Structure 1
Amino acid sequence: MLFRPTTETDQERIVEVIVDEPVGWIGADRYLGEMRQGMYRPEWTWIAEEDGQVWARALWWGQADSAHPIALDCLHVDPALPDRARVGAELLSAGLRAFADHGAPRLPLYNLTLPVGWRDNPTAAAAVGWRRQAAVAAGLTHEVERLRLEWTPDAGLPGTEGRLAFAPASDEEFLQLFRRIAVGSLDDETSRNIAVKGAEATARDEMDFYLGCPGRREWWRLAHTPDGQVVGLALPSATPYARNVGYLGVVPEFRGRGYVDDLLAEITRIHADTGAELITATTDRGNAPMAAALARAGYRTSEIRMICSAPVA
């Protein structure tokens, strides 16, 4: 079986693939639409081929200006094959090796979208099982589940006690807060990044990421107590698909006092005041305080994402 990146001549066969398992997948309309924007590309789309037939496909995604793919969005292996995990692993390994050879600074993660309660659904659990085996065999051995949540206007605006004042600030002030908040974070990716490159570089990278998102810089706020002490920051943001909670955090000395509710309420209010009909948010399943805060603010879990990535060096 041949594992290779596609060319434009393969496009018709790529979009003919239909995934009938209860996991997230990329259909023809989205794939072609985002390919026109440069978020899917032929060289980031890999197939397993034999005798002219496509037996498997892997669709890696990146931002329109990305030099390298960021995430694997869809892995499919034809169910007629007896060992789907092995074929999937070989396909992923071939693609990941090629990206590394072309200078990717880090291997793209695998982002598998799942329904809520997937463990109680035998069909969904089986679909996850072989994909998880393939990811592990390809070297993506670190796994974390992230909740995707949504707020809509019918949930109402979360209440606030008016304990904090919110104001714009300079990039340097925000960078200082990113640095302070990163220490002791319960977010899996933040903790892993600190272990590899330290709090300073992690803070800079996180801030640069949000500066590059579709959200507006003018939405960003620092939060202060009435006597002027800085408590945290609230960064409403956006994805290419919806408004997003973005980033919020409380500095270590003010944690444990419920200020996360105030920050989340401010983000939600900013988005609602500018006409948002949908606000999305994500948090690790293991970050129980953040998940609870989102639930209190009226955000409801809509799906789960299992993220498989390479271990930190």
Structure 2
Amino acid sequence: MNFRSLHIDDLPVEVFQQVDVFIAQEPVGFVSAKRYRADLARRTFRPEWTWIAEDEGRIVARAVWWGRPDGTRPLLLDCLWTDSSARDRAGLAARLLGAAHRCFQEQHGDQLPEAFRMTLQNGWRADPASREAVAWRQGAAAAAGFTHAVERLQFEWTPACGVPEADDRLIFVAEPDDDKMVEVFRRIGDGSLDDETRKKRARLSPGEAARHEMQFYLDAPGERGWWRVVYQPDGLLAGLAIPSATAYNANVGYLGVVPEMRGRGYARIILDAITRSHVNRGAEQITATTDVGNFPMATAFRKSGYRNVETRLLLSAP
């Protein structure tokens, strides 16, 4: 068995077409040849971030990592496939991930990709085929050290959802001072239901976690000038609104309410302001995600007309 990354002379699109028919048979999101070609052009996929397992010249497994267009390393494992005839699919996939991770560590100073993202249909646990498809992938990820799991709901806004009206209970103010913005992130992080925020708070100080969170959105394709700090009319801090973007769509990015203002319906007001902000710039589609366990945020999305289009299972190191 040979484990290796692709090279330019592998003609990677043709390589993907060889196995595309097999990948499409499982009810888990997969990277087709068409999407791979498009993301190669965006540089969110790279041949060197794409690994295959070969058995006597036949491709029996592949793993595709995603990264930012201007990034130097892969961030997310976006697709993992093995031939259904493999006797131990989890074991084969684990060996492939292990070979790729060793190479990534050598190239990027021991930095590994941050997570494995699986795209699933809503209610996937009720479907035996979906449970089986998740099980062997989760087993392979666990062998690679990705044992922490969080389920996220993917939401989407289109013009058919309607444009929410403005609400004058809150005031939205631009804040160019990054240090002041970090302090807003820090205050919102107290008592947060967001899994990633909690993970950062478990290993970093609140201030350090806030800076990491802010840097993530500074690195995203959205503009810093879109961000707004949110206040009550009496001048008290209420929260933060960050309209952002992915490599593909306008995105809700980040919104939060400080602890003492929670329970007043402010999350929906802030979300509606982010939606209008994107619509005013011509957005025809806005995406967003929130953890399954973040009930207030999921409720705000639904009340604002966003549709829950799929579920994502995110596996990462503890």
- The separation in 1 between residues aligned to 2:215 and 2:278, in whole angstroms, is 21
Residue 210 (structure 2) aligns with: 203
Q: Quote the offset at 1:160 in angstroms.
A: 5.1
CA deviation profile, 1:200-257 (whole Å, cap 9, x unmatched) = 1221122122122222222211111111111111011111111111101111221222
Contact residue 61 and residue 72 of structure 1 kept, 8 A: yes
2:273 alignment partner AA: E
1:187 aligns with 2:206: no
* Structure 1 gaps, min length 5: none
Structure-to-structure mapping, 1:135-146, within 5 angstroms: 135-146=141-152
Structure-to-structure mapping, 1:33-44, within 5 angstroms: 33-44=38-49
2:78 alignment partner AA: D
Structure-to-structure mapping, 1:80-95, within 5 angstroms: 80-95=85-100
1:110 aligns with 2:130: no
The partner residue of 2:173 within 167, 172, 179 is 167
Q: What is the SS of the residue equivalent to 1:64? A: coil
The partner residue of 1:233 within 240, 251, 265 is 240
Residue 231 (structure 2) aligns with: 224
Aligned residues: 311
Contact residue 160 and residue 261 of structure 1 kept, 8 A: no
- The separation in 2 between residues aligned to 1:274 and 1:33, in whole angstroms, is 24
Q: Quote the offset at 1:42 in angstroms.
A: 2.0
Contact residue 15 and residue 31 of structure 1 kept, 8 A: no
The partner residue of 1:133 within 130, 136, 139 is 139
- The separation in 2 between residues aligned to 1:200 and 1:106, in whole angstroms, is 24
Q: Quote the offset at 1:159 in angstroms.
A: 4.6
Give the structure-2-normalised TM-score.
Answer: 0.93
Moved more, 249-258 or 142-151: 249-258
RMSD between aligned residues: 1.5
Q: Quote the offset at 1:294 in angstroms.
A: 0.8
1:300 aligns with 2:302: no
Moved more, 300-309 or 3-12: 3-12
- The separation in 2 between residues aligned to 1:273 and 1:310, in whole angstroms, is 39
Residue 289 (structure 2) aligns with: 282
- The separation in 2 between residues aligned to 1:243 and 1:36, in whole angstroms, is 19
- The separation in 1 between residues aligned to 2:45 and 2:160, in whole angstroms, is 35
Q: What is the SS of the residue equivalent to 2:153? A: strand
* Structure 2 gaps, min length 5: none
- The separation in 2 between residues aligned to 1:4 and 1:121, in whole angstroms, is 33
Residue 46 (structure 1) aligns with: 51
Show structure 1 runs of 4+ deviating over 4 A.
none
- The separation in 2 between residues aligned to 1:161 and 1:35, in whole angstroms, is 42
Give the structure-1-normalised TM-score.
Answer: 0.95
Contact residue 77 and residue 113 of structure 2 kept, 8 A: no
Q: What is the SS of the residue equivalent to 2:253? A: strand
